[in-house]
Amino acid sequence: MLLSRVPFASKATSNARANFASFCMRRFCATPFDEFSDRFCRIFRVNPWLVRMLMVFTVSGGCVLAFSEAKPENGVLSDSSEADSKKKKVVVLGTGWAGINFLKTLKNPSYDVQVISPRNYFVFTPLLPSVTCGTLEPRSIVEPVRNIVRKKNVNIHYWEAECFKIDAENKKVYCRSNIAGNLNEKEEIDVDYDYLVIAIGAPANTFNIPGVAENCHFLKEMEDAQKIRRTVIDCFERASLPNLSDDERKRILHFVVVGGGPTGVEFSAGLHDYVKEDLVRLYPKVKEAVKITLLEATDHILNMFDKRITAFAEEKFQRDGIDVKTGAMVVKVSDKEILVKNGGGTSTMPYGMVVWATGIGTRPIITEFMKQIGQGNRRALLTDEWLRVEGCDGIYALGDCATINQRRVMEDILAIFRKADKDKSGTLTVKEFQEVIDDIRERYPQVALYLKNKHMRTLVDLLKDSKGDAVKGSVEVNLEEFKSALSQVDSQMKNLPPTAQVAAQQGTYLADCFNRMEKCERNPEGPLRFRCEGRHRFHPFRYKHLGQFAPLGGEQTAAQLPGDWVSIGHSTQWLWYSVYASNDVEVGTALKMSNQPPEKINILVCPEVKTILILALYLLMLAPVS
């Protein structure tokens, strides 16, 4: 689930860990969940010493490396200004998931890095809904940027400023400080770069619906979560005032959430728990007036999840009294009412607070930059599979502000055929085709998806099938037959979702490319260039989906992990906690999430062991020792 390479482990050790972790996960996912739980619960109850052994093995066998922060590295490798002048200047815009993971992974000291962002801390955004309802304090899910970059052996500098213009032609960015009270806050700062990494995220998408920007709350930043929390309390305080009509009191305590995705669902569930467990005790006289409504434009909430999770969530919300309205589109939002289109007509809905969680839009700087480079009329910057902004030199874009323009097989079908046809006979044999199969699959990931859906093992099977002879050991195809065989492959192309998981993987990938830039210039490692000679310098970025979670309130969470494994219930809540704790920036932050005093330590755990650790913690929750 969390498998990747471990820098400090040998190749043999890495393979062994990967195989062991893969074995554990295969066994875990292949066994029906109830049978799996019962089996391990019986084992642990009969042999309680196994629990202690499992914990000892997980910690002591997990290659855990702890070190003190008493003497952090200052990031300066040399006092030689001549050496510094030879370093390539990398400017990173943004301190979100993509930007921070790029900085954390970058290890090549041949770069001079300048980080520019108006936010001097990293926010663990998946936990923002927990802040709105008081489950977590704001300090529990943030980490100062300077605390992250000061431990690097790379020259990394941070400025709290906001970029308002990108000049791709002259390789400059223009910024200004947004610190309140700064005497020079209107003074512009221009910064030169050799490489520019744009990772500034995206704002909430209002779809230009009247009144949304003025009257709705959003949930993208820490300030948003804190504002929502204050507004909820204010609504209860206003509703408790005397001389209010019943209708006005009900309006004030009507909380509307627009958007049935993970954010909207988690906030609705968390708000329900907050009201039920805390606020009704503090405001008992108004508890009957409280109402939570969730509006979703499609037929179901959580429609990106498995149908079992969607059905469970809708049934649970119905039991909890959360009014879910599907097929409901917001047309207008005033200061006290929402105009909703549902079916053939429209209706008004009085409210006290609206939280808007419907998707992402585009920042003005990105809109202007896209016009500058000829990418107008788009939501996000267009990049290639190596995250390079199309039409620019030395500029990369990651995360929510960008989208990958995946190359279509049919665009290069003639070049692929000619590259594979080495004897220039005008036909492809199985042997000729097999020599380029791996490069085709890597360059065009939709090929592997298409073969999987067709239950075929290789592209050779696809060619044989197109000839109507799947048994014949040798087959030759001409160009037209080759086109026909691959004509439907591009139907499997999908855009990546704008999630923290995607952004984090992109940041890590790009930093790894920067770490090996010189090496791969000498020895390219990527797939064949079908339109010209040689190979691409790097392997293209490939997203690995590690699963998704949806907290549903009442200490119940739904999880959908690779391998078509679905888990719903109380025990899944602990799995959710474990995953987030293992991915946190600092153990100090994770300890604050557990209301423990933060210690000044870092812990580095190889990802394969994280998989086992999470599994071990999950089993301990299922079978506690009395």
* 502-545 confidence digits (pLDDT tens): 999 999 999 999 999 999 999 999 999 998 989 999 999 999 99
Answer yes or no: is pLDDT of 75 > 90. Answer: no
- Structure confidence at residue 499 (pLDDT): 94
Q: Are residues 429 and 554 in the same domain?
A: no
Q: How confident is the model at residue 432 (pLDDT cuts 50, 70, 90)?
A: confident
Mean pLDDT calculated for residue range 85-99: 94
Q: How confident is the model at residue 98 (pLDDT cuts 50, 70, 90)?
A: very high
Answer yes or no: is pLDDT of 236 > 70. Answer: yes
* Cα–Cα distance, 248 to 414 (Å, whole number): 69
Q: Which of 175, 198, 221 is the last residue of a domain?
A: 198
Q: Are residues 463 and 573 in the same domain?
A: no
pLDDT tens for each residue of 260-303 = 999 999 999 999 999 999 999 999 999 999 999 999 999 999 99
- Structure confidence at residue 438 (pLDDT): 86
101 within a domain of the structure (yes/no): yes
Answer yes or no: is pLDDT of 35 > 50. Answer: no
Q: Averaging pLDDT over each range in 9-23, 485-499, 536-550, 581-595, which range is the top one?
A: 536-550
- Structure confidence at residue 8 (pLDDT): 34
Among 253-257, 354-358, 566-570, name the one with the lowest average pLDDT. Answer: 566-570
Q: How confident is the model at residue 458 (pLDDT cuts 50, 70, 90)?
A: low
The CATH code of the domain that includes 265 is: 3.50.50.100
Q: Are residues 218 and 329 in the same domain?
A: yes
Mean pLDDT calculated for residue range 585-605: 42
- Structure confidence at residue 30 (pLDDT): 41
Mean pLDDT calculated for residue range 402-429: 91
Answer yes or no: is pLDDT of 445 > 80. Answer: yes
Element (H, E) at 228: helix 222-239
270 within a domain of the structure (yes/no): yes
- The share of the chain scoring above pLDDT 70, in percent, equals 74
Answer yes or no: is pLDDT of 209 > 50. Answer: yes
pLDDT tens for each residue of 316-335 = 999 999 999 999 999 999 99
- Structure confidence at residue 587 (pLDDT): 40
Q: How confident is the model at residue 591 (pLDDT cuts 50, 70, 90)?
A: very low
Element (H, E) at 443: helix 437-443
Mean pLDDT calculated for residue range 384-391: 96
Answer yes or no: is pLDDT of 257 > 70. Answer: yes
Q: How confident is the model at residue 27 (pLDDT cuts 50, 70, 90)?
A: very low
Answer yes or no: is pLDDT of 577 > 80. Answer: no
Q: Are residues 227 and 159 in the same domain?
A: no
Tokens found for residue 125: 């955004």
Answer yes or no: is pLDDT of 597 > 80. Answer: no
Can you list the alpha helix ranges (DSSP code H) found in 283-426?
307-320, 364-372, 413-420
- Structure confidence at residue 486 (pLDDT): 84
- Print the domain residue range for 89: 81-198
373 within a domain of the structure (yes/no): no
Residue 253 near residue 239 (C-beta atoms within 8 A): yes
Mean pLDDT calculated for residue range 217-224: 96
User: Which is more confidently placed, 224 or 531?
Assistant: 224
Among 168-177, 183-192, 234-243, 409-418, name the one with the lowest average pLDDT. Answer: 183-192
Complete edge-to-edge strand list for the sheet that includes strand 291-296? 217-218, 353-356, 254-258, 291-296, 323-326
Q: Are residues 322 and 216 in the same domain?
A: yes
* Cα–Cα distance, 523 to 365 (Å, whole number): 37
Q: Which of 198, 225, 260 is the last residue of a domain?
A: 198
Answer yes or no: is pLDDT of 77 > 60. Answer: no
User: Rg of the chain over CA atoms, in angstroms?
Assistant: 27
Characterize 539-558 residue by residue with b for buried, 16 or more Cβ atoms within 10 angstroms of its Cβ, and e for exposed. bbbeeeebbbbbbbbbebbb
Q: Are residues 434 and 469 in the same domain?
A: yes
512 within a domain of the structure (yes/no): no
367 within a domain of the structure (yes/no): no
Q: Are residues 126 and 39 in the same domain?
A: no
The CATH code of the domain that includes 469 is: 1.10.238
- Structure confidence at residue 1 (pLDDT): 36
399 within a domain of the structure (yes/no): no
317 within a domain of the structure (yes/no): yes
Q: Are residues 44 and 120 in the same domain?
A: no
Answer yes or no: is pLDDT of 473 > 90. Answer: no
Q: Which of 317, 340, 356 is the last residue of a domain?
A: 356
- Structure confidence at residue 213 (pLDDT): 96
Characterize 433-448 residue by residue with b for buried, 16 or more Cβ atoms within 10 angstroms of its Cβ, and e for exposed. beebeebbbbbbbbbb
522 within a domain of the structure (yes/no): no
Q: Are residues 282 and 188 in the same domain?
A: no
- Structure confidence at residue 433 (pLDDT): 81
Average pLDDT, the chain: 81
Characterize 63-98 residue by residue with b for buried, 16 or more Cβ atoms within 10 angstroms of its Cβ, and e for exposed. eeeeeeeeeeeebeeeeeeeeeeebebbbbbbbbbb
Answer yes or no: is pLDDT of 388 > 90. Answer: yes
User: Which is more confidently placed, 58 or 80?
Assistant: 80
Count of domains in the chain? 4
Residue 447 near residue 441 (C-beta atoms within 8 A): yes
Answer yes or no: is pLDDT of 183 > 80. Answer: no
Q: Are residues 101 and 165 in the same domain?
A: yes
Q: Are residues 342 and 233 in the same domain?
A: yes
* Cα–Cα distance, 40 to 205 (Å, whole number): 46
User: Which is more confidently placed, 341 or 579?
Assistant: 341
Q: Are residues 345 and 229 in the same domain?
A: yes
Q: How confident is the model at residue 53 (pLDDT cuts 50, 70, 90)?
A: low
- Structure confidence at residue 125 (pLDDT): 93
Among 1-15, 188-202, 553-567, name the one with the lowest average pLDDT. Answer: 1-15
